[in-house]
Chains A and B, each alone.
Chain A
Amino acid sequence: GAVVSQHPSRVICKSGTSVKIECRSLDFQATTMFWYRQFPKKSLMLMATSNEGSKATYEQGVEKDKFLINHASLTLSTLTVTSAHPEDSSFYICSASGGSGANVLTFGAGSRLTVL
Chain B
Amino acid sequence: AQTVTQSQPEMSVQEAETVTLSCTYDTSENNYYLFWYKQPPSRQMILVIRQEAYKQQNATENRFSVNFQKAAKSFSLKISDSQLGDTAMYFCAFMSLPHDMRFGAGTRLTVKP
Contacts and interface: CB of A to CB of B under 8 A. Distances in A.
Interface stretch (B21-29, B37-45, B71-79): B37-45
A44 B103 contact: yes
Judged by DSSP, the binding face of B is strand
A93 to B, nearest CB: 7
B47 A91 contact: no
A110 B43 contact: yes
Interface residues of B, number: 22
Interface residues of A, number: 20
Given A43-B106, A49-B100, A103 B44 contact: no
A32 interface: yes
A100 B45 contact: no
A23 to B, nearest CB: 13
Contact of B99 (A38, A44, A97, A100): A97
Interface in A53-105: 91, 93, 95, 97, 100, 103-105
A105 B44 contact: no
B105 to A, nearest CB: 5
B33 interface: yes
Interface string A34-60: 100010011110100100000000000
